[in-house]
Amino acid sequence: MDTNNKNPQTNIENDDTLTNRQGHPITNNQNIRTVGNRGPATLENYDFIEKISHFDREKVPERIVHARGAGAHGYFESYGMVGDEPVSKYTRAKLFQEKGKKTPVFVRFSTVVHGLHSPETVRDPRGFAVKFYTEDGNWDLVGNNLKIFFIRDAMKFPDMIHAFRPDPVTNIQDPRRFFDFCANSPESFHMVTFVYSPWGIPSNYRMMQGSGVNTYKWVNSEGKAVLVKYHWEPKQGIKNLTMKEAEEIQGKNFSHATQDLYEAIERGDYPEWEMFVQIMEDSPHPELDFDPLDDTKLWPEDQFPWRPVGRMILNKNPENYFNEVEQVAFGTGVLVDGLDFSDDKMLQGRTFSYSDTQRYRVGANYLQLPINAAKKRVATNQEGGQLRYYNDKAPGQNLHVNYEPSSMGGLKEAEQTGKEHTPYVEGNLVRESIERNDNTKQAGDTYRHFEEWEKDELISNLVNDLAICPKDIQDKMITLAEEADEEYGRRLREGLSEKSKVMNEMKMEIGEEMHPLGAKDAHQAVKDAIEKGHEQDPY
């Protein structure tokens, strides 16, 4: 041991070194700490918990993400089967067991990045969150319309949303910030390919798919688990918009999707989705060229077929938007017996973040609100907290006893009948990315699957926004496109080359770089408002 070194150096820190609020230099801002690089995550992730819990509290009182939304009541009807097999083979969750069994639901659709009163035509993923009021308590299936995501590690979520949101100085969305993050986070390229295509602007909420995005588990009565992915397919068909079509619609109605959902239900044209699951053995699956816990990847349908398990119908509009749509609170950790978590690092990070956000946003007793309360008995030893208005105690419970265990008439643990799922976990605690991290192969598959008009729209939208970005960001995005598909990369390179010639001839004005993602001629609208405005005398 060197006892002469009076000031040993631990981390190299400069003026621009990222730290946490305690002043600790951050040496890894890409990965949470996990057992092995696949997970599960550990609770002592201090840097992540500080980062995500501060992020959850950035805005008051609207949601940090998914602020703009619409919702409706309905029911889920089980087929009692998963494909052509009894569902009990895979899960003991009661809501799936009987054919025709109906479970009440509340569904909230939303945009992700922008605020409470933003237009519903923005280029953005759409939230698709379902609250099942089951006989075993609530189950929240919180997902999006697209089946993948930009990142695979929850550590990066606050940075991603910051980059996609309006600039903190101008309060205007800036594609340079979006692509600065994406070009330096290449795992996002598959999602970028979807979002910049027409799939980034669904026509409305009724005509879009839904997905759980994360990988979950089903557990049967013997405690055996399988990995599952959830999918919602609309019986109304799927429709998406081009940028030009979206701009025309926005010019007439910035709440068109909310209005469409409300009017469809009022006239009795009840939206319906069929639920499918993909099932995979619970293992790392080294034979695959992707990790099944990677949220940036699709599970190939030819290898893991979609199996129908039920259908969902929405047949009742909210009686009060604020009470129901605004105050409804979802969490990825809200599961019932027979459903379980996988080691998906995004899922584990979201499971802390979502419920933490709701307690901050709606209050410690948010689960006592009618829209969030389970439709069954609830008995806890919880006390106090903001806006608490009843005691959730059991009939005959000794009200002097608000703890457990007790022999004086307090609450008792339930008896467990199904076997506990006890996966074996072994590995070093590390902060590393998943090993199988090919960032472009599936993006190429997706591009080749697009129809020609979708490819044209994708390239046009990318060129429009990347043209204002620094060349190093353009080059990184072109490289990713070339790795994904030769045609994809060539068309993006050629499009940017042509665009740059035009821009060189026309000097870019201040403010031209700031516009909603994919929007064309947004700066001209600023001028038009001045030039086309009608002069008036004061009154």
Q: What is the tens place of the pLDDT at every residue in 98-136?
A: 999 999 999 999 999 998 889 999 999 999 999 999 999
Q: Compute CA distances 376 → 134, 135, 373, 394, whole Å.
A: 8, 7, 8, 12
pLDDT confidence band for 59 (50 / 70 / 90) = low
Q: Per the residue annotation, which of 144, 204, 214, 461 is the catalytic one?
A: 144
Q: In the annotation, is 162 catalytic?
A: no
Please tell me the distance from the alpha carbon of residue 346 to that of residue 342, in angstroms, as a whole number. Answer: 10
Peptide bond into 470 cis (omega under 30): no
The owner of tokens 């509340």 is 106
Greatest CA span in the chain, whole angstroms?
84
475 φ, ψ (degrees, to nearest 5): -65, -40
Q: Write down the catalytic residue from 66, 114, 231, 256.
A: 66
| Structural contact between residues 374 and 137, judged by C-beta atoms closer than 8 angstroms | yes
d(CA 237, CA 387): 43
Confidence band of 328 (pLDDT split at 50, 70, 90): very high
Mean pLDDT of the chain: 91
Say what the pLDDT of residue 295 is.
97
Residue 522 is predicted with a pLDDT of 84
181 CB contacts (<8 Å, ≥6 apart)?
A: 159, 160, 163, 164, 188
Residue 1 has pLDDT above 50, yes or no: no
d(CA 325, CA 62): 12
Per-residue pLDDT for 310 more than 70? Answer: yes
pTM above 0.75, yes or no: yes
Q: pLDDT tens for residues 192-234? A: 999 999 999 999 999 999 999 999 999 999 999 999 999 999 9
Of the candidates 151, 184, 159, 156, which has an alpha carbon nearest to the alpha carbon of residue 479? 184
- As a whole number of angstroms, the distance between CA 142 and CA 130 comes to 6
Any catalytic annotation for residue 66?
Answer: yes
Q: What is the pLDDT of residue 5?
A: 52
**Mean pLDDT, to the nearest integer, of 525-538?**
88
Rounded mean pLDDT of 151-169? 95
| Two structure tokens written together for 152 | 């695979």
d(Cα 65, Cα 391) in Å, to the nearest integer? 31
Question: Per-residue pLDDT for 3 more than 60?
Answer: no
Handedness of CA 91, 95, 97, 99 (dihedral sign): negative
For residue 510, the model assigns a pLDDT of 64
* pLDDT tens per residue across span 449-505: 999 999 999 999 999 999 999 999 999 999 999 999 999 999 999 999 998 877 776
User: Is the pLDDT assigned to residue 288 strictly greater than 70?
Assistant: yes
Position 27 confidence tier, pLDDT thresholds 50, 70, 90: confident
Cα–Cα distance measured from residue 174 to residue 318, given in angstroms and rounded to the nearest whole number: 35
Instruction: Identify the residue whose tokens are 């009021």.
Output: 133
Looking at residue 21, what is its pLDDT?
A: 66
Question: What secondary structure, in 3-state letters, does 488-521 show?
Answer: HHHHHHHHHHHHHHHHHHCCCCCCCCCCCCCCCC
State how far the Cα of 276 lies from the Cα of 96, in Å rounded to an integer.
Answer: 12
Least confident of 52-66, 234-248, 263-277, 281-295: 52-66
